[in-house]
């Protein structure tokens, strides 16, 4: 006759500990693997917009980022951005410059396209449409989520590159041309790939697409 052996209290504790450890390890594995796990993806059909004609949807690896554009603040710059959006020029373009917790920059149409990224020149590329003048005179709060056009050290050199700030940057007012603000989905931008030791990203994340809500 087989005698039933009852587990002691300490054996039960060790068993429970092993189970918890296994669950924790499995959970951590899932979390580490999926960087987008806790990022909410926004569906534009479920959101009401006051100015739907000024809404752009930036799709990135972790979902949709909804941007409201401000043509009343920077008409020419917004016009340039919308032109490039409508021609799908930004699709498959790299987030080549990313500073963790500070900004993500993309829009090098010449050297930042998926499949033909030129790491030696990325960030210097042009759109082929020429540069446009900076529009920096109107008061604007560069708070978290602001979308602005990038430029060289000189004003009036804006083209296709843009950046989105992930923290308030009051010093950027009158320095860069603001074109809009992220109204939903900033968290998806915080998950864009960055490097600790360099602002320029090797094997970067890409813009999947940018579309205007109303074409």
- Chain residues binding another protein by CB under 8 A are 99, 101-102, 153, 167, 169-175
Nearer to another protein, 143 or 175 (CB): 175
**146 vs 167: CA distance, rounded Å:** 9
Measured from the CB of residue 142, what is the shortest distance to another protein in angstroms? 10
**50 vs 76: CA distance, rounded Å:** 22
Using alpha carbons only, give the angle 26, 29, 35 rounded to the nearest 5 degrees. 135
Nearer to another protein, 76 or 208 (CB): 76
Measured from the CB of residue 174, what is the shortest distance to another protein in angstroms? 6
Measured from the CB of residue 171, what is the shortest distance to another protein in angstroms? 6
Measured from the CB of residue 199, what is the shortest distance to another protein in angstroms? 9
Segments of the chain assigned E as strands: 55-60, 63-69, 97-99, 103-106, 146-149, 162-165, 177-184, 209-212
Nearer to another protein, 169 or 205 (CB): 169
**96 vs 142: CA distance, rounded Å:** 21
Name 149's bridge partners: 162, 177
Yes or no: say if 161 and 150 are a contact pair by the CB < 8 Å rule: yes
Name 180's bridge partners: 69, 147
Measured from the CB of residue 56, what is the shortest distance to another protein in angstroms? 25
Using alpha carbons only, give the angle 104, 108, 109 rounded to the nearest 5 degrees. 140
Nearer to another protein, 90 or 194 (CB): 194
Nearer to another protein, 50 or 196 (CB): 196
């Amino acid at each position: 006759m087989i005698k039933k052996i009852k587990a002691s209290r300490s054996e039960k504790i060790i068993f429970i500990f092993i189970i918890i450890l296994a669950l924790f390890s499995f959970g951590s594995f899932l979390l580490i693997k999926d960087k987008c796990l806790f990022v909410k993806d926004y569906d534009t059909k479920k959101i009401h917009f006051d100015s739907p004609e000024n809404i752009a949807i930036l799709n990135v690896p972790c979902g949709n980022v909804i941007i409201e554009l401000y043509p009343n603040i920077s008409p020419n710059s917004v016009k340039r951005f919308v032109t490039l959006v409508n021609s799908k020029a930004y699709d498959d373009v790299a987030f080549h410059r990313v500073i963790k917790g500070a900004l993500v920059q993309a829009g090098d149409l010449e050297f930042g396209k998926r499949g033909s990224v030129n790491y030696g020149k990325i960030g210097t590329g042009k759109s082929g449409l020429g540069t446009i003048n900076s529009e920096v005179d109107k008061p604007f709060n560069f708070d978290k989520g602001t979308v602005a056009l990038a430029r060289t050290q000189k004003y009036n050199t804006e083209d296709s590159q843009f950046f989105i700030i992930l923290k308030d940057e009051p010093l950027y007012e009158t320095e860069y041309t603001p074109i809009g603000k992220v109204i939903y989905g900033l968290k998806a931008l915080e998950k864009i790939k960055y490097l600790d030791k360099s602002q320029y990203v090797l094997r970067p994340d890409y813009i999947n697409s940018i579309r205007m809500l109303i074409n």
